[in-house]
Chains A and B, each alone.
Chain A
Amino acid sequence: MILTSLEVDAKAFEVRTGWALKPEGACKGDICVALPQNAARGGQLDARIISERLGMPLIHDADTNVWCLGPEAMGHALTTAQAPELELPDWLGKPFHLSSLRGHKVLIVTWSSW
C-alpha cells in the first residue's frame, strides 16, 4: 500500500489489505491481532505501529519521500482461505470486483504478454 505520510486511513487500509479495525484489534478472517491504544486515532492508523504489530514491512523511497506498507508476513501467502476482495479494471477500464461473482465457482488465471 503506497503511502505519502505515515498516517493511514483505516477504511482505505481495510479495503486494500483485508485487515479491519475492530474493538479486539486488527482482524482478518479468524485472526485478530491486538493493537496498542495509540495505533489508531480518529480513523487514522499509525503505519509504524501497524507495520510492527502485523509484521508488514514499511519501506521508504528517499528520493520521492514515498512509503510502501507491504503484506503481513505470517508464514504463508494466504492468512485465511477466504478470498480477499480484488478490485481491478477490466481491459476496457471498467472497475471489476471479484466479490461480484459470489454464487459462481471461479477460476482466476494470470497471464502476461511478456
Chain B
Amino acid sequence: MWQALRNELHPRGLEIVTIALAADPEAARVWIDQTKPNHPSLIDAAHRVDELFGVINVPNGIWIDEEGNIVRPVEQAFPERQTAPDWQKLADSPDIPEQLRETLQLAKHIKIQPQEYTAALRDWVANGSQSKFALSPEEVVRRSGPRGKAEAEAAAQFELGHHLWANDRPDLAPKHWREAHRLQPDNWTYKRQAWSLADPFQGQSDLYDSCWVKDVKKIGAENYYPPLDLTPARRN
C-alpha cells in the first residue's frame, strides 16, 4: 500500500517503516509475502508501538527526523489510492455474511484524509524542519495522546494478556484484554486484536463485552479516526 510513495520519496531521504500489529505473526507474513516490500516491514506481536508511541489504531503514522526526534506523533495515516478499494464493492454484494455486510456498510462512513496527509508528508520531505507540518518537541508531546493511570494500566493489561496468549495460556488472556478495553476504550488495536482472535469478522463473542460494529455505532463511524490537525506549527 505504501510502496509507490516510498519509491517516490526514498530518493529524497524518506524511509517508510511499516509495522504489522499481529498477535499471530504468521497472519501478517502471508500478506507481506504477496508484496515483498523493499522497505523495512516489521511485525509487532505485542503491540509495543501502542505503549512506546501512543498508537491507538491502524493505520496510524509517526514522523521522525534525521536526528531521531519525533516531529509528528500518532495520527491517521492513509496513502492515496487511484481506485476505490475492493471492500467497498464487496459491501453491496448479496453473497456475504450479514455480520460482514454490516461492518462494511459502516466502514463506508469512516472519514479518512489521504490527500491532506500525503501532501503534508511531501512538504516535510521537501522542507524538513522548515515544513509547517513539523511540530515543536512540546507540541509533539502535547499531541501524543493521553497517558494517565488508566491508559498506562491498559498497556500493561494488554501486554500481560498477550504474554499469556503467546505462551500456552490463551485461556487466561481475555480477562486481561477485557480490562485493557475497559481502561482505554478508544484504543482500537487492543479491541480489534482481541475480537479478531475470537471471531474473524470481529463480531460479538462470549469472551468480550462488545464488538466492532457495536462500538463504532456508539461513537459514530465518522468519528472513528480523529481528523488530522494540520494547523501550521513551525519549529523554533
Min distance, Cβ A14 to any Cβ of chain B, angstroms: 14
For chain A, give the interface size range.
35 or more
Other-chain contact of A110, B60, B73, B164 (Cβ < 8 Å): B60
Let me know if A99 is at the binding interface, CB within 8 A: yes
CB proximity of A77 to chain B, nearest CB, Å: 3
Q: Check A61 against B66 for contact (C-beta < 8 Å).
A: no
Give the B interface residue count (CB, 8 A).
84
Which B residues between 170 and 224 are near A, CB-CB below 8 angstroms?
A: 172, 176, 189, 192-193, 195-196, 202
User: Which of A2, A63, A73 is within 8 Å of B159, CB to CB?
Assistant: A2
Flag if A90 contacts B189 (CB, 8 Å): no
> Which residues of B (132-182) have their CB < 8 Å from a CB of A?
137-138, 140-142, 144-149, 151-153, 155-157, 159-160, 163-164, 169, 172, 176
Contact with B along A61-84 (1 / 0, CB 8 A): 101101011111111111111111
Which partner residue on chain A sits nearest B136 by CB separation?
Answer: A81
Q: Are A75 and B146 in contact (CB under 8 A)?
A: yes
Question: Which of B22, B31, B141 interacts with A78 by CB under 8 Å?
Answer: B141
Q: Does A86 belong to the interface (CB within 8 Å)?
A: yes
* A105 close to B63 (CB less than 8 A): yes
Taking CB atoms and an 8 Å cut-off, the chain A residues in 36-57 that contact chain B are 55-57
Report which B residues bind A (CB closer than 8 A).
Answer: 1-2, 13-22, 25, 27-33, 40-44, 48-49, 51-55, 57-71, 73-74, 77, 121, 124-125, 128, 137-138, 140-142, 144-149, 151-153, 155-157, 159-160, 163-164, 169, 172, 176, 189, 192-193, 195-196, 202
| Nearest A residue (CB) for B6 | A107
Bound complex: CA A110 to CA B188 (Å): 12
Let me know if A86 and B147 touch, CB within 8 A: no
Decide yes or no: A57 and B152 within 8 Å by CB, A77-B53, A107-B62, A107-B63 being known contacts: yes
